[in-house]
A and B are shown apart, each in its own frame.
Chain A
């Protein structure tokens, strides 16, 4: 199993450009998340999807949109990138173990380092 995968690994954008960060998981998890990580601020939740077909705002949703394409994939879109969105972006997933047991552990992808000039 690959676990949680993210593309791209690195990206440089100019202010005003748009892009989509892709995330996929092969663990049959119901819930998926997008975080951003900035120095000294920990991991902040941008958006999450509790289950396929639903999405909700997290702590810092402004400037972002998400799509839960199917159970495996959860994408994050920046419509008009700003320098304040320079950050490392992590996708994560969690859910039951497949045996009906609630399993809260979140598994993280390798991250995308985004720079907006």
Chain B
């Protein structure tokens, strides 16, 4: 089955710096890679995702890159702000059927701390 490894487990940056979180996956059939942000005591929420037919996707200060050959994908946050402090999870999945969601396998999480 799929296995997702995420690094680093903790990351501390100064406000305004960039942050990069990396994930590797094992199943070459995986074709959807979301990133979730979880603030303390809250539920995980999707912040960006990428499908295997593209190599990069950007949404304002966050971007995700995907290298299918190497089976790794990364989250990039630029101009970090204190409100970016949270735990970030990557995940990988293969959709089940046309009208069914996929079975997500999550990485272990990265606790990002942005110091003012």
On A, residues with C-beta under 8 Å from B are 29-31, 33, 35, 40-45, 48, 50-51, 58-59, 90, 93-96, 100, 102-106, 108-111
From known contacts A43-B89, A95-B99, infer whether A108 and B43 are also in contact, taking CB-CB under 8 Å. Answer: yes
30 A-B residue pairings within 8 Å (CB atoms): A29-B101, A31-B96, A33-B101, A33-B104, A42-B6, A42-B106, A42-B107, A42-B108, A43-B44, A43-B106, A45-B103, A45-B104, A45-B105, A48-B103, A50-B97, A51-B99, A51-B100, A90-B43, A93-B101, A94-B102, A102-B95, A102-B99, A103-B101, A104-B93, A104-B102, A105-B46, A105-B49, A106-B101, A108-B43, A110-B43
Interface bin, chain B: 20 to 34
**Nearest Cβ in chain A — how far from B99, in angstroms?**
5
Interface Cβ pair total, 8 Å cutoff? 76
Minimum CB–CB distance for B98 against chain A, Å: 6
Contact (Cβ within 8 A) B99 A30:
yes
Task: Determine whether the beta carbon of B9 is less than 8 Å from that of A40.
Answer: yes
